[in-house]
Structure 1
Amino acid sequence: MILTNCAACAAPLAHNAPRCVRCWTRYCDATCQHDHWRRGHKQMCKKIHRGGNAEQYNADKKYKEAVAVAVAKCAEDTKGQTCYICTQALHWKTKEGLVRGCACRGTAGFAHVSCLAEQAKILLAEAEENNLDEKALQERWTRWHACSLCEQDYHGVVACALGWACWKTYVGRPEADQLRGCAMNQLGNGLSETDQHKDALSVRETELAMRRRLGSPEQQILALQNNLANSYEALGRDESAMSLRKGVYSAFLKLYGEEHRSTLLEADNYAMSLLNLERVEEAKSLLLQIMPVARRVLGDNDEITLKMRRNYAQTLYMDDSATLDDLREAVTTIEELERIARRVFGGAHPLVVGIEGELRNSRTVLRAREDGKEVQFVKH
């Protein structure tokens, strides 16, 4: 995680907490700083300073660890392949192996994390140098989280490694710098992709506090609250997540109207929170209202539409009063979603994996009902 805790006692820190004058390691107070100095910081202080000071030093270290994990995880899939950017199997400088964490198939999409990061860094630097507009910056920023070939988001360990790559690239910029803030968000997303939810929560709380301190626009604050709700859900804090989701959805509805992509996304997130709390009828009512809008505006192949339809199928088989026809509709719907999602995103994508889990659940519930038995299912 980023350095939001005292290096000596691990207590949460304020954004303006005191720090070592040489390496910028932060502490609660002078007592903690002196204690840490005696316990070994004296020997590390110069090394951390030479590494760009505490936050940069930590980011570089975490990046190398994340790359090693990603390469090891992808080793079987990448065997005998070469990077589509540099055309080498091993990176010429870092000697790292290859990864692939997108929807590419066959021999496409293999790359070094270093090459992906350098590509994104160069594109953003060119945009800044040439004073390109906000739209151009946003388009180039996608290289930090999406494949340039299949245009799908990276997931899992590759997303985490790129999150650290992004953060280490922009961490040295001023707090109010746009790309530094985006990089913090990217890191939080990457940590969540690898189930490091406590660390992701810490990053997201830090980013939200920073954005409020800087007076960021309401839309940005709402998006960060949504990310915070993701972490709450992952940590089992479902009531806190639902409360945030409800407020964010209502705010987006007022800002953009029901057909905006962000509104539809937040509506689906709110429905999922209701499902997590087993408030099935409320979730079903909301989904019946928004699904036709999503299918009309986004199309049947869009990730948001697929998630909505998956969640609606859940409301059918989770309902204790569901009829056999309801359960059969749930199974048929999820079977269709699995085929679409596999074709669009590839079999390894988290959405596909989640839909496969829902398919097992729905089939189990249907068989049990047909046999006159009760069954408990696993949430995905």
Structure 2
Amino acid sequence: MILTQCAVCATDLGLSLGKKCGRCSTRYCGPDCQVQHWERGGHEALCRRIRRAGGAEQYHADIKCNEAVAVAVEACADDTRGQTCYICMEAVHSRTGEGLVRGCACGDRDGVASGRTGIAHVSCLAEQAKILNDEAEENNLALKGRWDRWHTCSLCEQDYHGVVFCALSWACWKTYLGRPETDWPRGAAMMLLGIGLGDAGRFEEALSVQEAELAMRRRAGASAGRILDVQANLAVSYHNLGRLEEASSMQRDVYSGQLKLNGEENRGTLMAANNYAISLTHLKRYAEAKSLLHKMIPVARRVLDESSEITLKMRWKYAEALCRDTAATLDDVREAVTTLEDTERTARRVFGASHPTTTGHEESLRDARAALAARDVEALGDALGALGAA
């Protein structure tokens, strides 16, 4: 259950407080709000419709998904004008009437002339992912790889991002929310929704989902590794909401837990190390961030590769820490610029020009070049001053 507020006064009910409508499970803080909603809030007319839709949670998810799809379609309007869906070959979805989106690297990467656009309807992407995973469950096949279709483009093999990812994550959640808490797809869908909301800048909503997921995972007796994954996502939401000390403390614990559980040559450990380093840089603890990244970047290069998103982000954040440290030398700033020039080119080639990783690199590179230019002017002034004194 993700609905955690009273439908009338929005009081936070957590996962168990208050009461529910006996017919449709809409949540209230108490009988007064329930009566008010029935008599003056229109619930009498809505109750049957919500129940037919599958209950309050399903009804809420359907509405939120439609809203998220509309936002994504509007955001992608210029990019998709005159195009058709690569799955159904229609411009407008025949059943939902929705428009097109594109939130991957297809047609957006330097030096790539595949002709693939990645333009589709969110409903088509969702149906494609559902069919693949239903087939796996029916035939007792591994879900790994198939589940990726909920967040990764099948053409360019890069993750969706921003409002498109958010819309697809709502589609995923509404598909699996009726499953028992112990079912793997339900937990994975809840995790995906939390990440998708955060990716679209809906940080408070992401936090609410992730807190509900953590409580659910603990209730269901999830493994230590799964709990660490949820805590890592929760820490990102803390960070996005400006709760930097809480975020850093949790990221430190997640990194320590991953290291103990899986060793350093593990994707989860490497991701946790990068997240912890990011939190340290935002707290201006640059020396600690540099030390951690200096140790883990060679591991990432060995275990993953130079073009993996984790490796690129590690090198990006190492360069930022080099450049922003008040103790940085001129050589440090030059190294930061050289590193960012290299990683920005790779990010553009792999993820495309509009991906947040690419645009983040560009911004950091501009800042580093400006810092280097200022240092060069300062060095020239010092040299001229010394010459005049001589």
What TM-score, normalized by structure 2, do the two folds share?
0.92
Contact 1:102 1:155 in 2 (8 A): yes
Query: Which stretches of structure 1, 4 residues or more, deviate above 4 A after TM superposition?
Result: none
Amino acid at match of 1:167: W
Which of 353, 358, 362 aligns to 1:347? It is: 353
Give the counterpart letter for 1:79 in structure 2: R
Within the candidate set 91, 111, 116, 2:120 is matched to 111
Matched AA of 2:125: L
- 2:132 is matched with 123
Q: In terms of Rg, which structure is larger?
A: 2
**In 1, are the aligned partners of 2:61 and 2:173 still within 8 Å (CA)?**
yes
Residue 49 of structure 2 corresponds to 47
Shift of 1:155: 0.4
Alignment partner, residue 37 of structure 1: 38
Find the counterpart in structure 2 of residue 361 from structure 1: 367
Correspondent of 2:232 among 226, 231, 241: 226
Alignment partner of 1:81: what SS?
Answer: coil
Instruction: Provide Cα deviations, 1:337-359, integer angstroms capped at 9, x if missing partner.
Output: 11011011111111001101100
2: CA distance, partners of 1:2 / 1:163:
14
Residues in 1 aligned to 2:170 and 2:338: alpha-carbon distance in whole angstroms:
40
Are the equivalent residues in 1 in contact too, given 2:6–2:12 (CA < 8 A)? yes
Instruction: Could you tell me which runs of 5 or more consecutive residues in structure 1 were left unpaired when the two chains were aligned.
Output: 374-380
- Mean Cα deviation higher: 92-101 or 32-41: 32-41
Residue number among 324, 332, 342 corresponding to 1:326 in the alignment: 332
Q: Please give the alpha-carbon distance, in whole angstroms, between the structure 2 residues aligned to 1:81 and 1:29.
A: 50
- Highest relative contact order (Cα 8 Å, sep 6+), 1 or 2? 2
Deviation at 1:27, TM superposition (A): 1.8
Contact map agreement 1:301 1:341 (CA 8 A) in 2: yes
In structure 1, distance between residues paired with 2:116 and 2:267: 33
Asked whether the 8 Å contact 1:2–1:59 carries over to 2, the reply is: no
| 1:203-222 alignment runs, 5 A limit | 203-222=209-228
Separation of aligned partners in 2, 1:176 and 1:295: 36
Alignment-derived partner of residue 174 in structure 2: 168
Q: Please give the residue correspondences for 1:261-300 in structure 2 after superposition, counting only pairs within 5 Å.
A: 261-300=267-306
Shift of residue 32, structure 1, vs aligned partner: 2.9
Number of aligned residue pairs: 370
Say if 1:173 and 1:180, in contact at 8 Å, map to a contact too.
Answer: yes
Of 328-337 and 14-23, the range deviating more from structure 2: 14-23
Secondary structure (helix, strand or coil) at the match of 2:99 reads coil
* Amino acid in the other structure paired with 1:345: F
Separation (CA, whole Å) in 1 of partners of 2:6 and 2:27: 6
Partner in structure 2 of residue 75 of structure 1: 77
Equivalent residue, structure 1, for 2:24: 23
Deviation at 1:264, TM superposition (A): 0.8
CA displacement at 1:233 relative to structure 2:
0.5
Alpha-carbon offset, residue 14 of structure 1: 3.8
Confirm or deny: 8 A CA contact 1:81 1:107 kept in the other structure: no
CA contact (8 A) 1:184 1:203 kept: yes
Equivalent AA in structure 2 for residue 68 of structure 1: A
Identify which range, 210-219 or 14-23, moves more after superposition: 14-23
Aligned mates of 1:5, 1:166 — CA distance in 2: 22
Aligned equivalent of 2:3: 3
**5+ unaligned residues in a row in structure 2: which ranges?**
108-114, 380-390
Q: Do 2:341 and 2:365's aligned partners in 1 also have CA atoms closer than 8 Å?
A: yes
Structure 1 residue 319, shift from structure 2 partner: 1.1
In the aligned structure 1, how far is the partner of 2:296 from the partner of 2:204?
A: 32
**CA–CA separation in structure 1 for the residues paired with 2:368 and 2:22:** 59
Query: How big is the shift at 1:30?
Result: 2.6
SS of 1:359's equivalent in the other structure is helix
Partner Cα distance (2:357, 2:11) in 1: 36
RMSD between superposed Cα atoms in Å: 1.4
Q: CA deviation at 1:146?
A: 0.4
Residues 28, 175 of structure 1: alpha-carbon distance in 2 compared, 3 angstrom cutoff: farther
* One-letter amino acid matched to 1:243: S
The answer on whether the counterparts of 1:188 and 1:203 sit within 8 Å (CA) in structure 2 is: yes
AA at the equivalent of 2:87:
I
The answer to whether the 8 Å contact 1:2/1:58 transfers is: no
CA offset at residue 175 of structure 1? 2.5
CA contact (8 A) 1:23 1:49 kept: yes
Moved more, 318-327 or 232-241: 318-327
Q: Which is worse superposed, 21-30 or 203-212? A: 21-30
Aligned residue type for 1:258: E
Does the 8 A contact of 2:2 with 2:212 survive in 1?
no
Determine if contact 1:275/1:315 at 8 Å carries over to the other structure.
Answer: yes
Structure 2: distance between partners of 1:14 and 1:194: 23
Matched, 1:94 2:96: yes
Cα distance, 1:31 vs structure 2: 3.1
Residue 107 (structure 1) shift: 4.0
Deviations 1:47-84 (A, max 9, x none): 22222211111111111111111111111111222111
Report the counterpart of residue 58 of structure 1 in structure 2. 60
Distance 2:257 2:245 in 1: 19
